[in-house]
Amino acid sequence: MTRARSYVEGIDADLTRELAKLRAALGPADGTELDTALCYVETFCVVAIRVMHKTNPSKIRSEARTVEIKARMDGVPVVLEEGMR
């Protein structure tokens, strides 16, 4: 396994775990608006992870830094993996 692959797999595992926590906490019934909204978020995350697997890790880190800077300027809390900083 390459370093880049393990880097994205770590993000994938963390994101999957956090999405599961969110779904468990909200506990939406199947077919409800909340369930559909979570499905959109989960689908977007799956697509994003697939793109990340095909992207150079330095580009991912660069974009993560940009998002972090904007969030800090806007006063929004930021949670980033250590490898993304």
Q: What's the whole-number mean pLDDT along residues 1-16?
A: 75
Q: What's the whole-number mean pLDDT along residues 15-27?
A: 94
3-state secondary structure of 82: helix
- As a whole number of angstroms, the distance between CA 7 and CA 57 comes to 8
User: For the chain, what is the domain count?
Assistant: 1
pLDDT value for 26:
93
Q: How does DSSP assign 7-71, residue by residue?
A: HHHHHHHHHHHHHHHHHHHH-PPTTSHHHHHHHHHHHHHHHHHHHHHTS-HHHHHHHHHHHHHHH
- As a whole number of angstroms, the distance between CA 44 and CA 9 comes to 17
| Structural domain containing residue 31 | 3-84
If one compares 2 and 50, the residue with the highest pLDDT of the two is 50
If one compares 10 and 31, the residue with the highest pLDDT of the two is 31
Q: What are 29-78's pLDDT values in tens digits?
A: 999 999 999 999 999 999 999 999 898 888 988 998 899 999 999 999 88
pLDDT value for 66:
93
